[in-house]
Chains A and B, each alone.
Chain A
Amino acid sequence: DAGVTQSPTHLIKTRGQHVTLRCSPISGHKSVSWYQQVLGQGPQFIFQYYEKEERGRGNFPDRFSARQFPNYSSELNVNALLLGDSALYLCASSLVAGPTFNEQFFGPGTRLTVL
């Protein structure tokens, strides 16, 4: 079975541009979460989507947005890129989202470099 897939693997953009990152969850998983990991730090939670609805949002500006499609894949969009947006963007999927433990499976990440 395929794991969580993310595209592209690497991306180079310039300041002010827009970027779209894509994530396909494990088959059967209905929840997708996005994290930003700046070099040398732990992942920071950006969004969680479950059944195509936003269920959680971290402390990120409105330049960050996301959506989940009927097939449960997801896109993360970042507008007006800043140098500080350079990071590894991780997508994680889980079977459900709720009050019980749900193991998250992470994708390989997209390395975004903003010049």
Chain B
Amino acid sequence: AQKITQTQPGMFVQEKEAVTLDCTYDTSDQSYGLFWYKQPSSGEMIFLIYQGSYDEQNATEGRYSLNFQKARKSANLVISASQLGDSAMYFCAMGNTGGFKTIFGAGTRLFVKA
């Protein structure tokens, strides 16, 4: 069965510093995709970054990068130069080969301190 695990219920980071949010996954599929979403208190889910299982390079999108370690089945999100607006819930998710089902982790709440 597929599973996403986020072990950090809450994280604090000082403004302008970098922070890593952990995500491990379990799947028997060879082809899959890993996603990170941000959910502010308003509730909408905002797509941040994607990593395919066959992508050799770690994905980057602006201040977001995904540290993909396939052998360890981890897909950690790194946010550089944290901003106050980064305070939100962050969810790691995995899509299966057919793209018909996406499973989410329990989330990590990030607090950015001024």
Interface residues of A (CB under 8 A from B): 33, 35, 41-45, 48, 50, 55-56, 58, 88, 90, 92, 94, 97-109, 111
Q: Contacts of A44 on B, CB cut-off 8 Å?
A: 104
Which residues of chain B from 34 to 54 have any CB-CB distance to chain A below 8 Å in the complex? 37, 42-47, 50, 52
The chain A residue sitting closest to B91, CB to CB, is: A42
A99 touches B45 (CB 8 A): no
Any A CB within 8 A of the CB of B7: no
A97→B45 contact, CB < 8 A: no
Q: Are A102 and B104 in contact (CB under 8 A)?
A: no
Alpha-carbon gap, A30 to B4, bound state (A)? 27
CB distance from A66 to the nearest CB of B (A): 13
Knowing A90-B45, A92-B45, the reply to whether A43 touches B50 (Cβ < 8 A) is no
A58 to B100, CA, bound (A): 10
| Interface size grouping (class) on chain B | 20 to 34
Nearest-Cβ distance from residue A8 to partner chain B, whole angstroms: 14
With a cutoff of 8 Å between Cβ atoms, the chain B residues found around residue A106 in the complex are 37, 44-46
B46 contacts which chain A residues (CB < 8 A)? Answer: 106
Chain B residues within an 8 Å CB radius of A55: 98, 100
**CA A114 to CA B44, docked complex, whole Å:** 21
Q: Which of A42, A58, A97, A108 contacts B99 (CB 8 A)?
A: A97
- The listed residue (B42, B44, B99) touching A98 by CB distance below 8 A is B99
Specify which chain B residues have a CB less than 8 angstroms from the CB of A43 in the assembled complex: 45, 91, 104
Whether A101 lies near B50 (C-beta < 8 A) is yes
